[in-house]
Amino acid sequence: MYASRNLSKCTKDCLCLFVCPTGATNTETGQIDSSRCLDGCRLCVDACPSKAIFLVMDEYPEPAPKDAASASKMMDLCSSRFAQEKAAAAIAASSDEPGLKKLTEALRQSLRITAEDCAREAGFMLPQSEPVRALMEELESS
Amino acid sequence: MRVMEQNIHESLPVIFSNLQKASEKQQNYDSAEHFGKLSEKYYQDAVSGDLRTIKDMIVTDISSMADIQSLAGENGDRGILRALRWGGKVAAIQKSLIDRYLSKGEALTEGKEIFLCEACGFIFLGNAVPGLCPVCKAPSSRFTKVGK
Ligand code: SF4
Ligand code: SF4
């Protein structure tokens, strides 16, 4: 576990510089030096008046397994949304009308985000989870 | 060897771009890059597209969302219910934009910008970024402008 700064929230008040025992918060990039951060210390997290610092985990708990029937239906929805994304991309690439180009480009991106949400809720949310490990193994063996 | 489900196989670019975003949030940038490459590797362009066909598919999706909703309700899967609530609203907006384009043509977007909520996919046609996403309540910082 190590501390990380949300740079858009940091007001450079510098309280984190005073409390950090290793100087990890004092860097020229503005980001905290994770290699010097003490696992689980969190002094800077509590000291920051702007709530700009959070802890990044190294390990994540295994999510609850998804019901197979719902997961499969979410993947059907995912592939349908993705097919529409590709159709929108084809229109955006071939059209000369600026309005249609812009609209289909927006649809393309919007459809990808909604398709990703379906995949996420079908069980592919966390990179470190069992469904993702199983998928990677399947791909490697095929 | 287990044969991969068709719907998973077709969706690999989406599964991987989602894992790319998740890895970025975890600040695992090597892993993010790896998933990004896999997402591109499995992507195949569609040959062509048609607005009316997209619209018909959206209508079908909206009705299948209702079926999944009752199943997820029985299982108490709040994650799926949340995804369907956002996804249903966004699908309705996608469909209405297509309808409006089909009736108004190029006049629809004239003098207007399109903004996209990166959290839920909500599309906003207007002159300024919304203060809050009406679908998922993400702040204006999650919006990006589409195109130039
Ligand atoms: S205490 Fe918080 S606001 Fe101040 S410099 Fe550190 S991260 Fe930024
Ligand atoms: S968690 Fe502790 S060691 Fe790590 S940056 Fe913050 S104050 Fe320094």
| pLDDT classification of A29: cutoffs 50, 70, 90 | confident
B40 located within any domain: no
B9 burial type by CB count under 10 A (0-12 exposed, 13-18 middle, 19+ buried)? middle
**Residue B103: pLDDT over 50:** yes
Identify the weakest region by mean pLDDT among A6-20, A106-120, B88-102: A6-20
B137 located within any domain: yes
How far apart are the C-alpha atoms of A44 and A50, rounded to whole Å? Answer: 11
The CATH number that applies at residue B142 is: 2.20.28.10
Residue A90 sits at the chain B interface (C-beta within 8 Å) = yes
Residue B13: name the closest of A51, A41, A78 by CA.
Answer: A78
Residue A110 sits at the chain B interface (C-beta within 8 Å) = yes
Domain count, chain B: 1
Identify the domain containing residue B132 by its residue range. Answer: 109-148
Q: Between β-strands A2-5 and B113-117, what pairing exists: parallel, antiparallel or unpaired? A: unpaired
B32 located within any domain: no
| Shortest alpha-carbon distance between residue A80 and chain B (Å) | 7
B95 located within any domain: no
Give this complex's ipTM: 0.96
Instruction: Strand B143-145: give its sheet, edge to edge.
Output: B123-126, B113-117, B143-145
Residue A35 sits at the chain B interface (C-beta within 8 Å) = no
How far apart are the C-alpha atoms of B80 and A117, rounded to whole Å? Answer: 9
Task: Look at residue B1 in the predicted model and tell me its pLDDT.
Answer: 44
**Residue B136: pLDDT over 90:** yes
Which residues 11-30 of A have a C-beta within 8 angstroms of B? none
Task: Look at residue A142 in the predicted model and tell me its pLDDT.
Answer: 77
B128 located within any domain: yes
B34 located within any domain: no
| pLDDT classification of A136: cutoffs 50, 70, 90 | very high
Place of tokens 């499995």: B42
Model confidence pLDDT, tens digit, residues A67-82: 999 999 999 999 999 9
Model confidence pLDDT, tens digit, residues A92-124: 999 999 999 999 999 999 999 999 999 999 999
- Rounded distance from Cα A4 to ligand 2 centre (Å): 9
B31 located within any domain: no
Closest C-alpha residue for ligand 1 atom 6: A16
| pLDDT classification of B2: cutoffs 50, 70, 90 | low
B135 located within any domain: yes
How many CA atoms are closer than 13 Å to the CA of A10, on its beta-carbon side? 18
pTM of the model: 0.90
| pLDDT classification of B4: cutoffs 50, 70, 90 | confident
Task: Look at residue B3 in the predicted model and tell me its pLDDT.
Answer: 63
